[in-house]
Chain A
C-alpha cells in the first residue's frame, strides 16, 4: 500500500473507460445521463427514401444559419431614403430602407450575395424536400396508426414553410415582391364579411402603407421560425418515441426495427449528409442566380414587370388565380369575388384539408384500426396511391397553369386557347391520373407472383401492356452459397409420416 500517486494509479482510479467514463459518471450522478444509451442504440432502417426528411431538416438548418447572417444587415423599414451605396444604377434614387439595405447587404457586405442566394435556395429546397418527404410518407402508408399525429405535424410544417417563404420573399421590397404583397392584400380583401378589416389590420391601413415590411419581418424571423422549430422538435420526439417504420424484408416484422444504430453509424452518415446539403446549397448560391433584386428595381405601386413568376411553391396558387373565371357574385349590396376567394383560399383549403383528413378517412373507410409499422408498396394499395397521385397531378397542373403567357409565347399559340385548354383540362387531369394510376396498380398486383417477398420479384410491363413477374437476379449478399446440411436419420421408420396415395405433403 502506497500513498504515492503515480500517473498509472490515477488512471486506474478512473476505471476502464478513462476520463470520458469519469465525466459520464459525474453527469449520470446528477441527471441520469446513462439512460440516454437507449437513444444511442436506436435503430434506423436503411432505405434511401428515409433521407428525404433529413434533406428538409438540414436545409432548414441552413436557412436558419444564413438567415441570422442576413438579419445583421437588413433594415425592416419602409422609410424612404436616397440610395448612396455602391450599386451605381440606383445611385440617387429614392428607395425604401428595406430595399436599400437589401442591395447593400448584397453588394457591400462581404459574402452577402452568397448568403442571400444560399438562404433563398435553401428555402426552396426545404419546401421541396418536405413535399417529397410527405409524398413518401403518404404513398407507403407511413401515416397510419400510430403515426397520424406526426403526419399532421408534418403537414403543418409544410404549410408554415410555404407561408414563411412568401413572407421572406416579400422583405426586400423590390418591384416583384411588392407586386406579390399587392396580390396578398387583394386576397385578404376577398374574404367574405371580414376581408377588408383583415387587410386593414394586417397592413395597418390601405395598401401599401408603411407597416407591412416591419410586420412581415418579425413574423418571418421570429414567430413562424419559432413555431417551426418547436414543431420540428415534436416531430423528431414522436419519431424516436414511436420508432421508425420499415419496408418488409428478411427478419423484419411489425414488432421490430432492422437497420443500423444511431451511434455511431447513423450519426456519421447523417452528419455527412448535413455537410453535403450545405455544400450543394453553397454551390447553387455560387453558380445559380436567384432573385436578382437589383435588376428588378425598387417597388413602385404603379409599375410592373412582365412574365414574373412567384417562387415555385406559390405557383399552383398563381395558376389557379389565372384560370379561375370571373365568378364574382353581387347580392344584397355585397360583393364576393369568388374568382379570388375560390382559387386562393378555398382550393388550397380543400387540398390541405384532404391531406389532413386522409388518415382518419382511410381508417374509417377500411375499418382498419390496427397499428402499422411495416410499410406498403404503393401498388399494393391502389385507391390510396391513385388518390394521392390525383391530388399531386392537380397541383402540378395548376403550377403549369401559372405560366400560360409563357406557354403561349413559346408555342406561338393564342393566349385565349391556352387559357381555355387549361381551364377545361384542370378538371380532367386529376380524374385521368386517378384512373390510370388505379389501373396500373391493380394490374401490377394481378401479375402472377407480384407482392411475394421471399424471393425478390421484378414486375415488368411488356410493350403489349402485359405485366409479368420474374424472379429477379439474386443479389450476391442474399445468395445461399452452401447447401443446408440435413442430419442423417439414425434409423428408418416403417411408415413415412403423413403419406397418402404415395404423395408426401410437406409443411411450409
Chain B
C-alpha cells in the first residue's frame, strides 16, 4: 500500500495516536497557513476595536456595521481556516450502530406500555372514563372564555359603516365637500363627518369621490338620483382583499387597486373589468343639500370590503 493510499483510508478515532498521519494538519505548509490565519485574526481584532471606537464616537450606522462586519468576517474566515487546514485531516470513520433495539427489548417495551400501563386503565374503566370526561369538560369549558374574550362576536358589524342618512362628506382633515369644490375628473378620499371619533372609521368608512360630469350622473339603472352634479362615490375598500383602491386612471376612468391590480370602471357602477376582484365597489348614494354641500342619502346598501361567509 502506498503512503497516499494509507492517508485516504478512513480510520476510527480511537485507533489513532497523536503522531499518526491522520492526525497531521491538512495543510501542506502549516506554517504559512498559520501566518495568514494570524494576519486575519489581527485584522478581525482591529475590526472589533474599530467597532468599539465607532460606537464611542457615535459614528454613522454604516461605519458601525462595516467595522463589526469586518471584525466578524476576518475572525470567522481565520477560524474556519484554522479548523480546515491546521487540525487533524483524517479522514476518520465511525461505525453506525443499529437504532433498532433487540427483539427482546422491543417486546419488553411494548409489554410494559400495553400490559403494565394499559392493564391499569383497562382494569379501572370507570376511573379512566371519569378522568377523561373531567379533563374533556375542562378543555371545552376553557375554550369558551379563552376564545370569547379575545374579541366581540361579528354580528352585523361587517354590514354597516358610519355613513348615515344625511352624513356630510368631509375630507381627511375634516373639511366639508361643497358641490363647487371639484373640477371634472377630480378625485378625493372622503369620510362621514365625525369619523375621527369612531374606532374603525378611517378603515371602514373610507370612500372615494369622483366628479364625472356637471350634470347628474347615472352609473346603473335604479341609481338615477345617486350621482348629483356628476359626483359619484364608491367605497375605497377593494372587494378583493380590502386594500384602499387608491389609484385613479383618469383617461380610462378606472379605479385601480395598487395591491393586486383590480380595476373598476367608475362609469358603470365600479364594475370590475380586470384582475381578481369579484364584485363592484359598493356605491354611496349622494345628494346636494340646499347649502350646496354633498351628503349621503343613507349607508351603503351592501357590505363594503372583501367577501366573507355570512355575506349574502
Contacts and interface: CB of A to CB of B under 8 A. Distances in A.
Contact of B93 (A183, A257, A265): A257
A321 B308 contact: no
Contact of B83 (A242, A269, A307): A269
A113 B68 CA distance: 14
Interface stretch (B145-153, B225-233, B286-294): B145-153
B72 A336 contact: no
Interface string B266-283: 000000101111110000
Nearest to A322: B260
Interface stretch (B8-16, B101-109, B134-142, B210-218): B8-16
Nearest to A323: B276
A274 B77 CA distance: 10
A283 B261 contact: no
A324 B276 CA distance: 6
B307 A190 contact: yes
Interface in B143-195: 147, 150-154, 157-158, 172, 189, 191
B241 interface: yes
Nearest to B308: A189
B152 A279 contact: no
A76 to B, nearest CB: 17
B128 interface: no
B149 to A, nearest CB: 9
Contacts of B4: 477, 479-481
Nearest to A404: B261
B301 interface: no
A253 to B, nearest CB: 9
A111 B242 CA distance: 37
A186 B241 contact: yes
A473 interface: no
B209 interface: no
Given A111-B55, A405-B261, A328 B236 contact: no
A207 B206 CA distance: 13
Interface stretch (A10-18, A135-143, A295-303): A295-303
B98 to A, nearest CB: 9
Contact of A207 (B5, B172, B240, B242): B242
Contacts of A480: 2, 4-5
- Max count, chain A CB within 10 A of own CB: residue among B55, B172, B241, B278: B241
Contacts of B206: 301-302
Contacts of B79: 268-269, 271-272, 275
Interface residues of B, number: 89
A68 interface: no
Given A266-B83, A419-B274, A251 B189 contact: no
Given A196-B310, A283-B65, A326 B84 contact: no
B53 to A, nearest CB: 13
A334 B92 contact: no
Contact of A286 (B61, B90, B258): B61
Nearest to A260: B90
B284 interface: no
Interface string B42-71: 000000000000010010011111101111
A285 B154 CA distance: 43
B84 A269 contact: yes
B61 A114 contact: yes
A210 interface: yes
A337 B77 contact: no
Given A265-B83, A272-B77, A325-B276, A339 B64 contact: no
A208 B200 contact: yes
B150 A201 contact: yes
A273 B310 contact: no
Contacts of B152: 200, 204-205
B100 to A, nearest CB: 9
Contacts of A277: 76
A302 B258 contact: no
A290 to B, nearest CB: 12
Interface string A176-217: 000100110111011111111101111111111111000000
Interface residues of A, number: 116
Given A190-B307, A192-B309, A282-B65, A251 B72 contact: no
Contact of B244 (A272, A279, A304): A304
Contacts of A336: 307, 309
A421 B95 CA distance: 55
Contact of B246 (A111, A206, A303): A303
B181 to A, nearest CB: 18
A272 B82 contact: yes
Given A301-B203, A307-B258, A415 B93 contact: no
B118 interface: no
Contacts of A202: 150-151
A130 to B, nearest CB: 21
A478 interface: yes
Nearest to A485: B1
Interface string A9-39: 0000000000000000000000000000000
B157 A206 contact: yes
B259 A261 contact: no
A340 B151 contact: no
B278 A256 contact: no
Contact of B95 (A211, A255, A323, A416): A255
A324 B262 CA distance: 11
A259 interface: yes
Contacts of A367: none
Contact of A210 (B199, B309, B311): B199
Nearest to A45: B91
Nearest first, the 9 A-B pairs at minimum CB distance are A286-B65, A268-B83, A275-B76, A272-B79, A279-B73, A279-B72, A337-B307, A282-B69, A276-B76
12 contacts: A182-B203, A186-B240, A261-B13, A265-B87, A268-B84, A275-B76, A276-B77, A287-B62, A302-B206, A306-B258, A326-B277, A419-B274
Interface of A: 41-43, 46, 110-111, 113-114, 117-118, 146, 179, 182-183, 185-187, 189-197, 199-211, 241-243, 250-252, 254-261, 264-283, 285-287, 300-308, 318, 321-328, 330, 333-337, 339-340, 371, 373, 404-405, 415-416, 419, 477-482, 484
Given A272-B83, A279-B73, A301-B244, 7 more contacts: A191-B309, A204-B150, A257-B93, A273-B80, A276-B76, A285-B65, A326-B277
